[in-house]
Structure 1
């Protein structure tokens, strides 16, 4: 599972990307942005055992706790299988790594493997700068185009000119661990109000009303740090909007505006829940981490958050469960989801074949099994089953199985532009404080996206 410190958020940190010359800069041996990232033509080597002795320098964001344990176990398994390849890791906190990536990739000796975030805030900008290797030949050789769900594969794709996201060539691969927004529930409180895990949106809202009547906070949320709104908002959007329209908006395809994504309905429902007192009292003054702790302490029935983000102590997980918010139309649940991290190869790597072999291994079934063994949510391999007696992990694995098998992931809405996350949070805060309207939130988000599309020159 992804810890709270590693949630896939980038705000103002990447304003500096253009300042270091990525958009206009070239790397040695190229003629301009977007031309450095072509994989070599012809066949590529896929037998690591025949590659001789190689040391791969890997930058990752699995810097502590279960994250580090999982990555360590993956590296150990890979090196055991291929003793001729040594993995030399450098781990950094997620935000620090994202800020450091541009300069590291422009250096004379960049890491062979790096972990860019999805979207225009990171991966898209690095593609435009010619700093990431085009992986199309490796995708063909390893069968990634068939083995990865298209809903996940699209998150790693960009046109080679850097003007289009969600289609084109592959510039990264997912690891076999999931990061998604889900609904956590308190098992004893759900039983107390005489309810079962809701299977429809109407049942979920009925449970909110029951909890309120019983004196239980229906949904714990905190937003004093402007980091607690989007989890619920995106889940509601996924419940109301179609998977294709949400993806089209994020990827700026098919002239999809935000009004067709379910976002307006999500904003309206969020406001309704706030007005009805379904959210933590005075949540605007409560930090998102405090709201999560309050939920773990038994103060709320439901809590929307990222997978693996609950501040649980050993043994506490048995009191909680998880599910994806049901769709309003009764269809298969859609989740805002991605891999817990992506790995890309530097366009200047001298060991691209060995690096691609490690990318394939980190996305493989053994890596997914190691995720479950370490109590985290797997991805890409729906046959991987939960082990042990942790009911929350069992729920999470079941969610991941559905996302992997059905391909029902949608990208994070704010990947659409480098500034959309801030735009949504500030306008939602204003609307919920009674200083603006639901329409103002939707209009601001739509304008943010439209303005950014113009900068891409599409």
Structure 2
């Protein structure tokens, strides 16, 4: 699960509600008909930050130039808007032919089950996508009925994602604090910052998912790659329980921080995106979030990025992450010509040339850069690339917890504010996650 970002060309809230309620004809507002013209390719993406959108527009123009007569009809949506409208639009026949779709049971899994996405395995073979990205990464787009991580492949991503620890070096230097090498050192640093009157963590919990990423990232930093099977089983729907000591301890720690003054004052009324902007402006010493903010973070040269330090004894800690929403072909690609054009478009979006364009814009590509590529790497991106290499080499790329069931994101979002405010216990928070998961497993039998 990626973040929710600033949007462009998004319907006002009252129009969105009306469109969802009326469906049918109102869905024309959601996107251009795939059948508008034979040489139109209706595409939805979630690249709604200014820097991201500029890269997509550049790549679209290049694709059109290489395919005379083809016009990309682009619609950009935030993560949350995409989640709300995509399945409904495709079902009604007025959605995109090519789209970004969130992996996991709630989105990709549900659309595969309803026959709304087409397998891309033929294009993996045709274009050798399996040479550009590892099998473990491609497995995040596989479904076989209710089984996640196996079976046919329904997408491929253009960007890598890692949830890690952003830090403001100037704030740390002014406080006399060195970068933590272990989780125990991080905890001590947070105490020192609080004693000096500095907000240890930037946080915003009114909208988006910073708290979810924090809880998941802390938990997974305590899991060695050699012991990842239990987490993999949970995410891929093979069974298990979220009710573990590690999850409870992570929730307990985050609740302690929220209640004990470790978060930026007024965080409850600040959105995740606004919290990031405050961090960029120099507020807060640390922020736990993902590499998708590299483009904005580069505007403050004091900001660095690192993996969340592991506790002593963990040599290959997991990092939450994976890839951004996958490029997929919908069932609205009715004929082979349209499907092949869609496959060709996706191939360009995950090409080495596209990877270089993303790197030049300071975003972390999932496809490896060409040997002769010479992108202008920022310090943040250089750190991200090295982390990506290490995580893949160690098989230490973790998971977004919300991928584990169709309703898990809502369950977490509904209960996170209660956890942070102290209205529920950490045990109750984890229990809500596990009840959601067990109900999902029961429904698959």
User: After TM superposition, is the score higher than 0.5?
Assistant: yes
* Alignment pair present for 1:397 and 2:380: no
Per-residue CA shift, 1:103-131, capped at 9, x if unaligned? Answer: 43234575331222111221111101111
- 2:350 equivalent among 352, 363, 369: 363
Per-residue CA shift, 1:11-38, capped at 9, x if unaligned? Answer: xx99x99x989xxxxxxxxxxxxxxxxx
Q: Map 1:440-455 onto structure 2 (within 5 A).
A: 440-455=428-443
Partner of 2:257: 273
Alpha-carbon distance in 1 for matches of 2:165, 2:73: 34
Q: Map 1:191-206 onto structure 2 (within 5 A).
A: 191-206=173-188
SS at match of 1:167: coil
Q: Map 1:366-377 onto structure 2 (within 5 A).
A: 366-377=353-364
Partner of 1:35: none
Partner of 1:149: 134
* Alignment pair present for 1:69 and 2:51: no
Partner of 1:100: 85
The 3 A distance-change label for structure 1 pair 290 and 107 is closer
* Alignment pair present for 1:354 and 2:337: no
* Alignment pair present for 1:319 and 2:333: no
What runs of 5+ residues in structure 1 fail to find an aligned partner?
8-12, 22-52
Q: Is the 8 A contact 2:60 2:72 kept in 1?
A: no
TM-aligned CA deviation for residue 211 of structure 1? 1.3
TM-aligned CA deviation for residue 303 of structure 1? 0.9
SS at match of 1:335: coil
Q: Is the 8 A contact 1:174 1:342 kept in 2?
A: yes
The 3 A distance-change label for structure 1 pair 422 and 454 is same
Per-residue CA shift, 1:126-180, capped at 9, x if unaligned? Answer: 1011111122233233333454223421221111x3x1112211011111x2233
The 3 A distance-change label for structure 1 pair 451 and 56 is same
Q: Which has the higher helix share?
A: 2
Q: Is the 8 A contact 1:154 1:166 kept in 2?
A: yes
Q: Is the 8 A contact 1:240 1:265 kept in 2?
A: no
Partner of 2:218: 236
Alpha-carbon distance in 2 for matches of 1:166, 1:439: 29
What runs of 5+ residues in structure 2 fail to find an aligned partner?
8-15, 25-37
Partner of 1:425: 413
TM-aligned CA deviation for residue 236 of structure 1? 0.5
TM-score scaled by structure 1? 0.79
TM-score scaled by structure 2? 0.81
SS at match of 2:61: helix
TM-aligned CA deviation for residue 371 of structure 1? 0.3
TM-aligned CA deviation for residue 386 of structure 1? 8.1
- 2:324 equivalent among 330, 336, 340: 340
Alpha-carbon distance in 1 for matches of 2:178, 2:418: 35
* Alignment pair present for 1:133 and 2:124: no
Q: Map 1:285-300 onto structure 2 (within 5 A).
A: 285-300=269-284
State the number of aligned residues.
Answer: 412
